[in-house]
Amino acid sequence: MKAVLQKSFDKTLFLDNVKRHLTSTYATTVENATTRAWYLAMSRALAELTTFDLLETEQDERILNAKSVNYLSLEFLIGRLTGNNLLNMGVYESIGEAVAELGLDLSDLLEEERDPSLGNGGLGRLAACFMDSLAAQEFPAVGYGLHYEYGLFKQSFEACHQKEAPDAWCGIEGYPWEVARPELAQQIGFYGYVTTETVDGQEKRKWVPGMTVMGMPWDIPVVGYKSETVYPLRLWECRALAPFSLESFNNGNYFEAQHTLIDAGNITKVLYPNDNHEKGKTLRLMQQYFHSAASIRDILRRHESVGHPLAELPQYETIQLNDTHPAIAIPELMRIFIDERNMSWEEAWEICSRTFAYTNHTLLPEALETWDESLIQRLLPRHMEIIYEINHRFLQEVREKWPGDGDKQQKLSIIQDGFHRMVRMANLCVVGSYAVNGVAALHSALVKQDLFPEFHELYPNRLMNVTNGITPRRWLQYCNPGLSHLISEKIGDNWPVALDELAQLAQWADDDEFQQAFMAVKKENKARLAKWVKTNMDIELNTDAIFDVQIKRLHEYKRQHLNMLHILSLYYRLLNRPDFDMVPRVFIFAAKAAPGYYLAKEIIYAINKIAEKINSDDRVNDKLKVVFIPDYRVSMAEIIIPAADVSEQISTAGKEASGTGNMKMALNGALTIGTMDGANVEIREEVGDENIYIFGLEVEDVNRLKASGYNPFDYYNADPLLKASLDLLNGEEFTPGEPRKLRATYESLLDGGDPYLVLADFASYIEAHGQIDAQYRDTAGWAKKAILNTALVGKFSSDRSIRDYVNHIWKLKSVPR
């Protein structure tokens, strides 16, 4: 690994380039440039440097002849690039000094960057961390995604309700870090019909699309940490092929002629804002096919440009499917092989099924994708034929293994029978892949046990686990410079590429001086967040209070409303029990709700109303504060996470596949309060029982309770504190003159049957919070726990996740440059 930029960084040349972009790209002058113009010009100048390396990496013979992974994902939640890339390029300090000569402050410039919010949450952010780790360890890779015109909506609160606004992340000037690759554009078809042609006496099926669009790739550089390796994150934008139909144009029907243009422009117009809930919309399937088809063609182009035969595809390329969203890539590759490259079914299948691997990210039934057979038939008629054939041959295999077992066939079939026949994308992925993985040990066990038990019997070696991870560059080194310096002082500066080395910190966990330094950094980070909250929300926070943080998408299974009930119980006790004492707490929430998810929006509304009241109630003000930070996004997480004392990971056991926010906060010295769910289980294994607060029902308990007929009223009637808290919610305390205005949440927890067992876990949750309160008072004891969290979570580096994929699934070799 070389740090060439670091060595050869030429300040004068760089500043000249910045000034050149200021005038030639952004049409302004040194005298007139705004901070924004300077940020754009600086980023363009930096991006230019990485484009050189991108092209060199792309043409490197050793990489062309090595095996690469193609990471197919409808989402890449990359976050701001400029600051992080400066760090990866090893020039953060020198650029800071360089721009200072122009009288500019680097952090002001970095604040000008808008987050590219090209993802919803966990799945998209994981894809971004994985790209960072692939580049850092120089495992050849290409990320394939979509160039949405609008990313995830921007969130604001109006009278405590969530309001959505479109997110034009590119801005009017365009995004400085991307470069168009028109020479790599592709044509993609939709609709139409299938005919049979006879070629050389052989019958061949041929798809004649009814509509064709263009896929224009934009490359975003993924910069390897202190190396010259730069891989492309290739995002496809959909455009009309010809601006309009010439024929109708010449007929004088100018506006009709523009219809194709409008349709094509729609496909990548906006990211679907649903997280863990699929809706089956035509445009979404069009996005998926557009993404898969463009990516597959690009992969084949790369493979063949070096002269590799198609039959050797699995030796050179592997294709990782990030959930089932790109599943249509499987029949697409089959179609190209059979219809366009004259392969036999057997030969095509042999290659295909050694090329794809699939990651499952959720067990929630409402998130498992199924598409109407009739929709696929209409949009992609040839693909539907191929799916039938895949299924037909697969079911034959099932019949051989279990003769006469109709039940097994029904469960395994890719086609779900019924009035509306549906295609189960997860089944298609398992059948068409050589490896299938879950994202944490518990989740992968449940994938084998509950989601795909029959597949596991049929293919005992196919299902595996790769526990998720996070990149330590962005999520410690970049976002928490104070802690990073403290760590490097103690153990040197190799930990960003070898996170297990943090374990050495454990030797100072009891050291007075180190404890104080560690907690002083935490306090500075809390002050930084408090300043943000004061400036942007005009709420005053006490940095001596416990900062108790829950930041993630809003979903019932994640149970923000359990956290809310805890707050209500504290408020109730502060007002009604004169002897009740507590360490001051600041509750921090940040979460977006899918725009169509009614109850999630009601929970946001309730928390905001509760916050409004509590924050202005002088009786409790010195003890309790509640802050719901609007518009949660990567750059906001970078400020919140280093400031967390307590990390809320409180999903119903068995529902959160992994979680990655849990890893980020533990790494930054927060203690987790969590259920035995997702990666919490493994975090506990690493940090030890004394350094985490585990509570609540486990998966088996949840199943048993549900099977025995769960009744939330049993808990409501038996626990006075729970009853008082819920009644407080349903009264008019928080909505004076309008009782029961927050009833949606209340009712879902009682009459609604409490599907996620909030009430069942309440008592145990309150008890765990009681322990936190007691143990936080022991300053040295808490510092020790916080230090041990940072020290002992090295396992959760995404570098380790990527090595697991490389060794057990992809079988790649690192190609150092």
Cβ at position 360, least distance to ligand 26W in Å: 8
Among 70, 274, 320, 652, the residue binding ligand 26W under the rule CB under 6 A is 274
Give residue 615's Cα distance to chain centre: 32
Among 53, 132, 167, 369, the residue binding ligand 26W under the rule CB under 6 A is 369
Q: Is 288 in the site for ligand 26W (CB under 6 A)?
A: no
**What is the C-alpha to C-alpha distance for residues 58 and 50, in angstroms, rounded to an integer?**
12
Burial category of 459 from C-beta neighbours within 10 Å (exposed 0-12, middle 13-18, buried 19 and up): middle
Helix (H) or strand (E) run with residue 260 in it: helix 259-267
**What is the C-alpha to C-alpha distance for residues 694 and 686, in angstroms, rounded to an integer?**
13
**What is the C-alpha to C-alpha distance for residues 354 and 75, in angstroms, rounded to an integer?**
24
Task: Name, in order, each residue with C-beta under 8 angstroms of 112's C-beta and a sequence gap of 6 or more.
Answer: 35, 36, 38, 39, 40
Window 292 to 351, contacts with ligand 26W (CB under 6 A): 323
Q: Is 278 in the site for ligand 26W (CB under 6 A)?
A: yes
Q: How many C-beta neighbours within 10 Å does residue 639 have?
A: 16
Residue range at the interface with ligand 26W (CB under 6 A); choices 58-66, 164-172, 509-517, 654-662: 654-662
Structure tokens of 455?
């597949």
Structure tokens of 64?
């062309």
**What is the C-alpha to C-alpha distance for residues 636 and 589, in angstroms, rounded to an integer?**
11
| Nearer to ligand 26W (CB atom), residue 186 or residue 359 | 359
Helix (H) or strand (E) run with residue 127 in it: helix 122-136
Which amino acid, residue 337? F
Give residue 110's Cα distance to chain centre: 22
Residue range at the interface with ligand 26W (CB under 6 A); choices 189-197, 269-277, 448-456, 668-676: 269-277
| Nearer to ligand 26W (CB atom), residue 468 or residue 480 | 468
**What is the C-alpha to C-alpha distance for residues 268 and 239, in angstroms, rounded to an integer?**
9
Q: Is 362 in the site for ligand 26W (CB under 6 A)?
A: yes
* Residue of 154, 601, 664, 800 marked active site: 664
**Dihedral sign of CA atoms 401, 407, 409, 411 in order:** negative
| Nearer to ligand 26W (CB atom), residue 149 or residue 278 | 278
DSSP state of 493: S
| Nearer to ligand 26W (CB atom), residue 127 or residue 509 | 127
Structure tokens of 590?
């940040």
* Residue of 229, 660, 735, 790 marked active site: 660
| Nearer to ligand 26W (CB atom), residue 439 or residue 529 | 439
- Quick note: the x/- pattern for ligand 26W over 608-647, rule CB under 6 A, is ----------------------------------------
DSSP state of 698: -
Residue range at the interface with ligand 26W (CB under 6 A); choices 361-369, 522-530, 540-548, 797-805: 361-369
Burial category of 48 from C-beta neighbours within 10 Å (exposed 0-12, middle 13-18, buried 19 and up): middle
Give residue 26's Cα distance to chain centre: 32
| Nearer to ligand 26W (CB atom), residue 326 or residue 642 | 326
Residue range at the interface with ligand 26W (CB under 6 A); choices 12-20, 270-278, 311-319, 564-572: 270-278
Cβ at position 660, least distance to ligand 26W in Å: 5
Give the Cα-Cα-Cα angle 450, 451, 456 (nearest 5 degrees): 90
Cβ at position 3, least distance to ligand 26W in Å: 31
Q: What is the dihedral of CA 777, 783, 785, 791, to 10 degrees?
A: 170
- Quick note: the x/- pattern for ligand 26W over 116-145, rule CB under 6 A, is ----xxxx--x-------------------
| Nearer to ligand 26W (CB atom), residue 99 or residue 426 | 426
**What is the C-alpha to C-alpha distance for residues 263 and 242, in angstroms, rounded to an integer?**
12
Among 659, 669, 712, 794, the residue binding ligand 26W under the rule CB under 6 A is 659
| Nearer to ligand 26W (CB atom), residue 413 or residue 680 | 680
Q: Is 79 in the site for ligand 26W (CB under 6 A)?
A: no
Whether 523 is a known active-site residue: answer: no
Closest CA to 429 of 333, 506, 314: 333
In 497-567, which ranges are E strands? Answer: 546-551
Among 275, 556, 686, 799, the residue binding ligand 26W under the rule CB under 6 A is 275
Q: Is 658 in the site for ligand 26W (CB under 6 A)?
A: yes
Q: How many C-beta neighbours within 10 Å does residue 153 have?
A: 20
Count of residues in contact with ligand 26W, rule CB under 6 A: 23
Residue showing the smallest CB distance to ligand 26W in the complex: 122
> Residue 708: phi, psi to the nearest 5?
-85, 5
Q: Is 674 in the site for ligand 26W (CB under 6 A)?
A: no
Which amino acid, residue 178? E
Among 36, 114, 277, 528, the residue binding ligand 26W under the rule CB under 6 A is 277
Residue range at the interface with ligand 26W (CB under 6 A); choices 580-588, 653-661, 763-771, 796-804: 653-661
* Residue of 297, 553, 559, 625 marked active site: 553
| Nearer to ligand 26W (CB atom), residue 362 or residue 675 | 362
Q: Is 686 in the site for ligand 26W (CB under 6 A)?
A: no
Cβ at position 329, least distance to ligand 26W in Å: 16
Residue range at the interface with ligand 26W (CB under 6 A); choices 8-16, 234-242, 273-281, 484-492: 273-281
Structure tokens of 363?
């067990």
Q: Is 656 in the site for ligand 26W (CB under 6 A)?
A: yes
| Nearer to ligand 26W (CB atom), residue 260 or residue 471 | 471
Q: Is 270 in the site for ligand 26W (CB under 6 A)?
A: no
Among 67, 234, 303, 361, the residue binding ligand 26W under the rule CB under 6 A is 361
| Nearer to ligand 26W (CB atom), residue 317 or residue 369 | 369
Residue range at the interface with ligand 26W (CB under 6 A); choices 45-53, 150-158, 651-659, 773-781: 651-659
* Residue of 302, 448, 552, 601 marked active site: 552
Q: How many C-beta neighbours within 10 Å does residue 575 have?
A: 14
Contact assessment for residue 536 and residue 530, using Cβ atoms and an 8 Å cutoff: no
| Nearer to ligand 26W (CB atom), residue 608 or residue 662 | 662
Q: How many C-beta neighbours within 10 Å does residue 588 have?
A: 23
Whether 660 is a known active-site residue: answer: yes
Dmax over CA atoms of the chain, in Å, equals: 93
**What is the C-alpha to C-alpha distance for residues 591 and 681, in angstroms, rounded to an integer?**
24
Cβ at position 279, least distance to ligand 26W in Å: 7
Q: Is 367 in the site for ligand 26W (CB under 6 A)?
A: yes
**What is the C-alpha to C-alpha distance for residues 436 and 463, in angstroms, rounded to an integer?**
5
Contact assessment for residue 436 and residue 430, using Cβ atoms and an 8 Å cutoff: yes
* Residue of 44, 234, 302, 361 marked active site: 361
Structure tokens of 530?
């408090």
Residue located via tokens 């943090």:
502
Residue range at the interface with ligand 26W (CB under 6 A); choices 86-94, 114-122, 371-379, 475-483: 114-122
SS3 at position 263: helix
Contact assessment for residue 754 and residue 748, using Cβ atoms and an 8 Å cutoff: yes
Window 439 to 498, contacts with ligand 26W (CB under 6 A): 439, 468
SS3 at position 817: coil
Whether 474 is a known active-site residue: answer: no
Cβ at position 366, least distance to ligand 26W in Å: 8
Cβ at position 643, least distance to ligand 26W in Å: 22
Residue located via tokens 């898969």:
292
* Residue of 558, 573, 623, 803 marked active site: 558
Whether 664 is a known active-site residue: answer: yes
Residue range at the interface with ligand 26W (CB under 6 A); choices 247-255, 276-284, 294-302, 405-413: 276-284
Please give the residue ranges that form the binding site for ligand 26W (CB under 6 A): 120-123, 126, 274-278, 323, 361-362, 367, 369, 439, 468, 656-660, 678
**Active site positions, annotated:** 361, 552-553, 558, 660, 664
